[in-house]
Structure 1
Amino acid sequence: MSFGDPNNPYGQQPPQGQPNPYGQPQGQPQQPGYGYPQQGQPQQPGYGYPQAPPVQPYGGGFPGGPTEMPGGVKAARVMLFVIAGLQVIGAVLFAITGAAISKAQDDPTLKDDVQFQDLADFSTGAIYGLALLVLLWGVLAVFLGVKFKSGGNGIRITTMVFGIITAILGIYPFVIVGLAHTVLAILVTVFIGKSDGDAWFSRPQH
């Protein structure tokens, strides 16, 4: 069937959009059926089903754990150094007391006092021993504080045990002078036992 010259403006043009036997106009691209996504386009999530949030890695958003020491752990570290300073002061006071008792043993008026001499000999050795223990306890506090930067979960557990024992000793027998130790030791144990402390000491060591 001829439709004439295509350059003739008065010629008969071929019909546009005649329907085919299947109901689709000829000369037009087929449209995708309703409910079927077009090819090449990403499917959108269904209505009413929000996308799941991305899973956060372990350690508060840092892969493998935090890269910077948390504030609570830093505070516990400073408190350990404060406890160590108080231990040094206590050791010095014990040493001064022991020296004073030793000097009293040389007092002529007390040389004939057998009971005082026996008590002085026992007290001097005990006081010097306490001074040494107090000093070593302070050294342990410094060691734990230094290890906070590179230590693992073993340092965390040791620090918590250290804090509990220090708090108990602050209550008895050193009730008055140990009050500051008790408060600081409790705070150290609480800060280290928190989740951020666990994440810091459980991080992979490089």
Structure 2
Amino acid sequence: MSFGDPNNPYGQPPQQPPAGNPGYGYPQQPGVPQQGYGYPSAPPVSQPYGGGPVLTQMPGITRAAQILLAVIAAAHLVIAAAYGKALADWDKTMLEAGITGDAEAERYADLGKGVVVFFLGLAAVFAVIGLVLLLQYAKGGNTVRVCSIVYASFAIVSGIFSLALYGLGLVIMIVAVLTIVFAAKRTSAEWFRRPRY
């Protein structure tokens, strides 16, 4: 077999460097870039400690998570308004149902009113928390991302309780799942972990 044969399993022998080319341990000639690792051939560092480039603009997927968070907060404002309307009409509804006058029935009606007040307050607090998280997306750290994921997880539960409210609960659950997915993406994590000077 000859070394020029294309069917040779051993291939062509390695080429020897020319005699004038310095090898390992010899000083490098000026103007010739040095091969290998280390300071002379290392790429320029674009941020402290050798990380990737610094993000200056919010990535699209993170912006989508922020918008979906706004939808969840707005939906909870609608839910709070619905509970507020039910609370405003409560006494009139109980009077029309004929519950007034019976002490036992009034006690249960007051218990129901307390439940409505509780859910009204819960929906209002949930909307405020969503608004606070929403406003922190531009300057917040990784805690904002983690809190957004937890917030969206609780929104799934609140969506289950809101299913009877004209399908708003289903919308909340779908948007909450998408928020979790978008906030958990690596791009979003990089945005919230970016260095701030």
TM over 0.5: yes
Output the CA distance in 2 between the equivalents of 1:127 and 1:181.
20
Matches of residues 53-202 of structure 1 in structure 2 within 5 Å? 61-62=52-53, 65-106=54-95, 109-171=98-160, 173-176=161-164, 177-202=168-193
1:42 aligns with: 32
The 8 Å contact of residues 80 and 145 in structure 1, kept in 2 or not, is answered as yes
Gaps of 5+ in 2: 1-17, 23-28, 36-40
Distance change in 2, residues 1:170/1:110 (3 Å) = closer
Corresponding residue of 1:204: 195
Give the structure with the higher percent helix: 2
Shift of 1:93: 0.5
CA apart distance, 1:151 = 0.3
> Which whole-Å CA distance do the structure 2 matches of 1:89 and 1:41 have between them?
70
- TM-aligned CA deviation for residue 97 of structure 1: 1.1
Mapped to 1, the partners of 2:31 and 2:196 lie a distance apart of: 45
Cα 1:99–1:116 shift into 2, 3 Å? farther
SS in 2 for 1:111: coil
SS in 1 for 2:89: helix
CA distance in 2, matches of 1:142, 1:108: 38
**Matches of 1:41 and 1:146, distance apart in 2:** 53
Q: Which has the larger radius of gyration?
A: 1
Unaligned stretches of 5+ residues in structure 1: 1-33, 46-51
CA displacement at 1:119 relative to structure 2: 2.1
CA 1:68–1:40 in 2, change beyond 3 Å: closer, same or farther? Answer: closer
In structure 2, the CA distance between the partners of 1:161 and 1:43, relative to structure 1 (3 Å rule), is closer
CA contact (8 A) 2:99 2:105 kept: yes
- What percent of counterpart residues are identical? 27
Task: Give the TM-score normalised by the residue count of structure 1.
Answer: 0.69
- The total of aligned residue pairs comes to 165
Distance 1:92 1:181 in 2: 16
8 Å CA contact 1:60–1:66 kept in 2: the answer is: no
Counterpart in the other structure of 1:4: none
Superposed CA deviations along residues 119-178 of structure 1, whole A, max 9, x for unmatched, are 22111121022111101101111110100000001111111111111113323x333441
Whole-Å Cα distance in 2 between the matches of residues 108 and 148 of structure 1? 48
TM-score (norm: length of structure 2): 0.71
Check whether the contact 2:72–2:155 (CA below 8 A) recurs between aligned residues: no
Aligned-residue RMSD, C-alpha:
3.0
Counterpart-to-counterpart distance in 2, 1:109 and 1:41: 98
